Amino acid sequence: MEAYYFDSSALVKRYASEVGSPWVINLTDSRSRHNVFTALVTGAEIVAAVARKARLGSITLQDATAAIAAFKSHFRTDYLVVLLTAAIIERAMDLAEKHGLRGYDAVQRASAFTVQDELGANGVSLKAFASADTNLNKAAQAEGLAVENPQGHP
């Protein structure tokens, strides 16, 4: 069993067919027994992304409704959700300033740092920070995190 942190750009691939979806599905399926961490804000980001795909016609409304229902269920039961704290926001502000990250990207990155710190305190390491965002991955690597881009796993 390994621990992964998934940001929204990676996790959405479990709910909408994209490059890297099979890799994400394999790692996040509860039968894989991996610990999958994500930020609280991921809830809104995934629902918004899937709903947008339906509005743009890249998936049907029926598929979007099913995907959102599956995500909401998984969000409650399968993922270890990192709650937003003042310390995470402070860290996110520093990361946004240092690496030019967008707001929620900085929150995702700061949340992953929090997970890494807490796991490390218990002698466990975070296997990877999973994101399909190139800028966010560069920032994560610059800060010493192992990174996996699902798009590299077609």
Q: Per-residue pLDDT tens for 76-132?
A: 999 999 999 999 999 999 999 999 999 999 999 999 999 999 999 999 999 999 999
Q: 3-state class of 82 per DSSP?
A: strand
The Cα–Cα gap between 42 and 48 comes to: 10
Q: 3-state class of 150 per DSSP?
A: helix
Q: Are 64 and 53 in contact (CB under 8 A)?
A: yes
The Cα–Cα gap between 89 and 78 comes to: 25
Q: Are 111 and 117 in contact (CB under 8 A)?
A: no
pLDDT at residue 1 is higher than 90: no
pLDDT for residue 135 = 87
Q: Can you give the residue range of the structural domain that contains 24?
A: 3-152
pLDDT for residue 143 = 85
pLDDT for residue 28 = 96
More confidently predicted of 115 and 1: 115
Span 61-72, average pLDDT: 98
Q: Which amino acid is at 4?
A: Y
Number of domains in the chain: 1
Q: Which amino acid is at 49?
A: A
10-52 pLDDT per residue, tens:
999 999 999 999 999 999 998 999 999 999 999 999 999 999 9
Number of residues that make up the chain: 154
